[in-house]
Amino acid sequence: MARCVRCCCCLLVLLLIALGVTAVVVFLRHRNGGGPVVPGGIDRKYAEALAVALQFFQVQKSGKLVNNKIPWRGDSAEDDGQEAGLDLSKGMYDAGDHIKFGFPMAFTATMLSWSVLEYGGAMQAAKQRDSALDALRWIMDYLLNAHPSADVLYIQVGDPEADHKCWERPETMSEKRPLTKITAKSPGSDVAAETAAAMAAASLVYKPINGTYSSSLLDHAEQLFAFADRHRGAYTRTFPELSKYYNSTTYQDELLWASSWLYHATGNSSYLAYATGKNGEEFADLGNPRYFSWDDKRPGTQVLLSRASFFASQGSGLATDNGLESYKQTADAVMCILLPDSETAAFRTEGGLLYVAEWNSLQHPVASAFLAAVYSDYMLTSGKTELSCGGQSFAPADLRNFAQSQADYVLGDNPMKLSYLVGYGDSYPQRVHHRGASIPADVDTGCGGQEWLNTAEANPNVAMGALVGGPFKNDSFVDERQNVMQNEATTYNSALVVGLLSSLLTTTSVAQSLSS
């Protein structure tokens, strides 16, 4: 029987090569324990970059550290949440500061989960899956504790105004750490729904690993989605003083995003109906391609629901679902603006970087490249060989080439010959806008460590795995600590690049059922 399976795999490889796929990796699923699929050869460059990228989550951890491998980091913020009788000591600092912003942190967790669900086998073969799961668990433990009852979610720890006036290490900070929460009377549908999405996605990750933990995550996800939908409102309308940090344009995309993840996590068709029915018609902006980011989940939702469309079984009714087909058509349009040779191609720099925004310019190309790699794999696995962009036709390989071009740009194939992933390659930013990295580990500055902010010297500590904001439109980059626009790293950027690098670990991938 084993010989027969190997022969069938060989025939499949030969068939795909005959169809024009230059290199194919066949996935075989472990049958003993339902483990992740195991791929073939691993691309060493992307594996090394992934190992570096995952270290930034260790750099950003709050609380009592376990098996700490970052020599200049230590325990911090261990009392977070105590004023509410909660343990909010875990979680991760947002960027170069020490605030725990729930909105981008939940998005970070959702993207980590999606990466593991799609590419966990490749990550495991590259010996990096455990690191991803460690980071995910550190965030999910925090988010679970931040949701003490059905209609209450703590969405922030710390005062950003006070925090941004201080330059200090998290281990020595002594400022008050106030808590911010949403309730039925003070809604925040966007952050509640994003947290629901994170919990639903993570429940799928932990389903074969820890069934009890998975069930708890899913219960919280359903409660939070109901809360977000029942008490609608944007959290930055409830707390307008927070709009200068992570202003949510609308909560509508998060509701669709969360319902899509809950559909995959539960199989409950009511969640699919929510996204494809009236709410989808009103909220999804179907037919108009957009760029994926922490603030706009619509492209991610379109790709995620396309998965259901691509792999709909005969007789399921999904293949003929008009709402679902509209999502897939919009996902096609998103892919078309990403392809450089498409008539609808978006602007890119002379160096080849998709360029959408000046601030944190790498977020959109990395997020888009991840979606392109995922979509390419969906096409290959489902047997779809052609993407139509107006009168042009493209193949899955074209999407994968785009994804690889963006990853390679990040890793140093750019006019600056600079790796924007700190710690990878021979040349990378030395003055990342990051408090802990900029101050020697044996120095207690109190709140007044501005001398370390203002010095022209390189950081004494390397913020391993930090993906900085990125270059300007002309491919230039200024490595100065005060250059927040270009030189600050964020955890959600790290989650996006982890997804992109994981998607490129093998030459091509075969998509698996998210619920298996």
Q: One-letter amino acid identity for 80?
A: D
> Could you tell me where the beta strands, DSSP code E, fall in 1-98?
28-29, 37-38
Q: Residue 327 belongs to what H/E stretch?
A: helix 322-338
Surface-to-core class of residue 48, CB atoms within 10 Å of its CB (0-12 exposed, 13-18 middle, 19+ buried)? middle
How many Å apart are CA 499 and CA 493, to the nearest integer? Answer: 10
433 is catalytic: yes
**Which residues lie across from 37 on neighbouring strands?**
29
How many Å apart are CA 318 and CA 324, to the nearest integer? Answer: 7
Closest CA to 401 of 307, 503, 316: 503
Q: Residue 123 belongs to what H/E stretch?
A: helix 102-125
How many Å apart are CA 295 and CA 254, to the nearest integer? Answer: 9
With beta carbons less than 8 A apart as the criterion, state whether 423 and 417 touch. Answer: no
Q: What is the residue whose two structure tokens read 């979680």?
A: 91
Of residues 98, 220, 364, 433, which has the active-site annotation? 433
Q: What backbone phi and psi angles, to 5 degrees, belong to 33?
A: 105, 5
Find the radius of gyration of the CA atoms of the chain.
22
User: 20-23, long-range: CB within 8 Å, 24+ apart, which pairs?
Assistant: 20/395, 20/397, 21/380, 21/397, 21/508, 22/507, 23/507, 23/508
Alpha helices (H) along 360-423? 363-382, 396-410
Q: How are the residues of the chain apportioned to helix, strand and coil, as percentages rounded to the nearest 5? A: 50, 5, 45
Closest CA to 257 of 236, 283, 219, 291: 283
**Which residues have a catalytic role annotated?**
433
